[in-house]
Amino acid sequence: MRISTNQIQLSMLDNLQHGFGEYARLDRQISTQKRILQPSDDPVGSVQLLGLQKEQVAMAQYQKNIANAKSQLSQGELQFETMTNMLMRLRELTQTAATGSLSDADRKAVASEVAIIKDGLLDLANARNESGSSLFTGSKVDQTALVKQASGDYSYQGDNLVREVSIANGVTVGLNQTADQLFLQPDDFFKRLDSMVTAINDAAPDAVDQARAMLGRSQTLQDSISQAVSTIGARINLLDQIDESHAEKGVYSKEVSNQIESLDYAEAATRQAHVLMALQVQQQAFAKVNGLSLFNYMP
């Protein structure tokens, strides 16, 4: 088979183009300090990197969810702690009213302070976070939790949905308690409190009985709030543990990613020098072949 000068030139030109491409690829690797610039550089390593990057994105989102969850839970915990302090004072006043031995001035003072505490507790039950979302209305965060009706009953405007957020693969945590579970079960706490205030203030015959009954109801509420605080504490501890786990996994994942895609600078520089040397030789050979002509050898 005869090989023409044109075929030789095309073959050498193809080799030169390949060499320039390899030199440029090595130059990009050295400038970016990355071995894998495109999937074809290392198909297996590229698949591993893609999996690791997806894992890192997921963990970053989980950590963001955890931070938001801790903030929301902490806000609820703060409201409950304030409620607990107010309930302790309410029980002191109720105990005093339950003795039935108050002067008119003391009786009215007790009724007045209990009314103030009731308003404070209602405000806390209707608390909102910094974005204006109600804390204790389930998924209906734009609603006011408890509203007093004309009948004197307090109605719940939210739902019973517990808002949950994903904090790890297959792991979720609840973010909220609902006001109806705390204040309307087993009965309407605020309606009973309004009735007691009126009875004490008016020296009603059943004022002492209402005060004694309120001691039991307020204790039930305080126990429910204490349980809610304990639940929040357990959830925050869980969030801290999982957040720490995500942080450790994130560091390890990034280390593995660096190992896969990081460039051996010395090896790449040596390889580039060899490619450059080969290119110089090929260019010289190409120039000589390109200059060949039968006319050079004709007498």
Rounded Cα–Cα distance for residues 88 and 117 (Å) = 10
DSSP character for 134?
B
146 lies in which domain range? 50-246
Q: Is 267 within the bounds of a domain?
A: no
Rounded Cα–Cα distance for residues 192 and 175 (Å) = 29
The whole-model pTM stands at 0.77
Domain CATH code at residue 77: 1.20.1330.10
Q: Is 107 within the bounds of a domain?
A: yes
Q: Is 39 within the bounds of a domain?
A: no
pLDDT at 179: 95
The verdict on whether omega for the bond into residue 186 sits within 30 degrees of 0, i.e. cis, is: yes
Q: Is 187 within the bounds of a domain?
A: yes
The contacts of residue 165 (CB under 8 Å, 6+ apart) are 65, 68, 69, 172, 173, 175
Q: Is 151 within the bounds of a domain?
A: yes
Q: Is 273 within the bounds of a domain?
A: no
Number of domains in the chain: 1
- Provide the angle, in degrees to the nearest 10, between the axes of the packed helices 104-125 and 43-98: 170
Q: Is 25 within the bounds of a domain?
A: no
Q: Is 266 within the bounds of a domain?
A: no
pLDDT at 271: 72
Tens of pLDDT along the chain (299 residues)? Answer: 454 556 655 666 566 566 566 666 666 766 666 777 777 778 888 889 989 999 999 999 999 999 999 999 999 999 999 999 999 999 999 999 998 888 999 999 999 999 999 999 999 999 998 889 999 999 999 999 999 999 999 999 999 998 999 999 999 999 998 999 999 998 999 999 999 999 999 999 999 999 999 999 999 999 999 999 999 999 999 999 999 999 999 999 999 988 887 665 566 567 766 766 766 666 666 666 565 554 454 45
Rounded Cα–Cα distance for residues 124 and 26 (Å) = 65
